[in-house]
Amino acid sequence: MKTTHVIFAMFFALTIFSLSSCNKDKEISKPEIKNFELGHDNSNSAYPGSDLHIEADIVAEGKINRIEIKIHHEGEHGKKFASYILSEGEWEVDSTYVKFSGLKNTIFHEDLDIPADAETGDYHFHFAVIDMEGNKAEVERELEIKLSAPVK
């Protein structure tokens, strides 16, 4: 009879253990960036002395930790921001936004000022959303800083 109780207790413990080990934590998917817009009318362009419109719908199951924006002149792609010394007129951005931290979804909308003396030409634009779990979603675009705005 003791043997039967021991076997039953072992079977019960094994069943409980196997059920609890199958109940793994749900894997959190990486953030999603939807309806991304860069430049007025989503033109992927802007002008010195004006602003650069950036907008996106963000959904982050793992809650947003931070949003990063990096912009650099195309000729400087691959150089480190900290070690690169800007010459007069060259414009770059390396910004981190934490005001959305802890949110599961938001509409990101910023208008970045472009200095009037910003060098025209092709720039590389990086937009990243990093959640609390360390998952990352990115958008990269080519951005053109044009000489002057079109006359309306």
Domain chopping of the chain, boundaries: 26-145
Length of the chain: 152
Interval 61-85 mean pLDDT: 74
- Domain 26-145 indexed as CATH 2.60.40.3880: yes
Please report which confidence band the pLDDT of residue 149 belongs to, taking 50, 70 and 90 as the band edges: low
pLDDT at 71 over 50: yes
pLDDT at 103 over 70: yes
Q: Residue 26: what residue type? A: K
pLDDT at 92 over 90: yes
